[in-house]
Amino acid sequence: MARTGILSLGQSDPKGGSHTRTPLQRFQLPVKFKPIGLVPFFGFVGLFLVWPAISLFRLAIQPTKNSDISAMREAITGDYLDSFIYTIKLSLLTALLGVLLGSLLAASVLRIERPKWFRNFMTSFAGVAANLGGIPLAFAFIAALGTQGLITKMIDYFGVNLSDAGFRISNFAGITIVYLYFQIPLMFLIMVPAFNGLRASWSESAASLGAAPWQYWRYVGLPLLTPALLGGFLLLFSNAFSAYATAYALSSGGARLVPVQIRFFLQGNTITGKDNLGYALAAWMIIIMLITMTGYLFVRRRAEKWQQ
Task: Tell me: does residue 248 bind another protein (CB under 8 A).
Answer: yes
User: Which of 16, 30, 78, 115 touches another protein by CB under 8 A?
Assistant: 16
Task: Tell me: does residue 160 bind another protein (CB under 8 A).
Answer: no
Task: Tell me: does residue 293 bind another protein (CB under 8 A).
Answer: yes
Output phi, psi for 59, to 5 deg. Answer: -65, -35
Dist CA 87 CA 255 (whole Å): 10
Our measurement of the distance from residue 81's CA atom to the centroid of its chain's CA atoms, rounded to an integer in Å, reads 22
Using the rule CB under 8 A, give the single segment among 74-82, 92-100, 159-167, 282-290 that binds another protein: 282-290
How many residues form the binding site for another protein (CB under 8 A)? 129
Q: Write each residue from 109 to 128 as x if it is in contact with another protein (CB under 8 A), else as -, in one continuous string.
A: x-xx-------x--xxxxxx
Shortest Cβ 202–another protein spacing (Å): 6
If the CB atoms of residues 44 and 82 are measured against another protein, the closer one turns out to be: 44
Q: 60-87 burial string, b = 16+ CB within 10 Å, else e?
A: bbeebeeeeeebbebbeeeebeebbebb
User: Which of 209, 269, 271, 272 touches another protein by CB under 8 A?
Assistant: 209
Residues 48-87 that bind another protein (CB under 8 A): 48-53, 55-56, 59
The Cβ of residue 177 has, within 10 Å, a number of other Cβ atoms equal to: 16
Measure Cα distances from 159 to 141, 174, 256, 280 in Å.
Answer: 21, 20, 31, 47
User: Which of 81, 153, 160, 163 touches another protein by CB under 8 A?
Assistant: 153
User: Which of 4, 77, 161, 163 touches another protein by CB under 8 A?
Assistant: 4
If the CB atoms of residues 84 and 185 are measured against another protein, the closer one turns out to be: 185
Dist CA 118 CA 139 (whole Å): 28
User: Which of 61, 96, 134, 173 touches another protein by CB under 8 A?
Assistant: 134
Task: Tell me: does residue 2 bind another protein (CB under 8 A).
Answer: yes
Burial of 95 (0-12, 13-18, 19+ CB in 10 A): buried
The two counts, helices (H) then strands (E), for the chain are 16, 0
Output phi, psi for 66, to 5 deg. Answer: -110, 35
Dist CA 253 CA 271 (whole Å): 18
If the CB atoms of residues 85 and 150 are measured against another protein, the closer one turns out to be: 150
Q: Write each residue from 212 to 241 as x if it is in contact with another protein (CB under 8 A), else as -, in one continuous string.
A: xx-x---xx--xx----------x--x--x
Burial of 90 (0-12, 13-18, 19+ CB in 10 A): buried
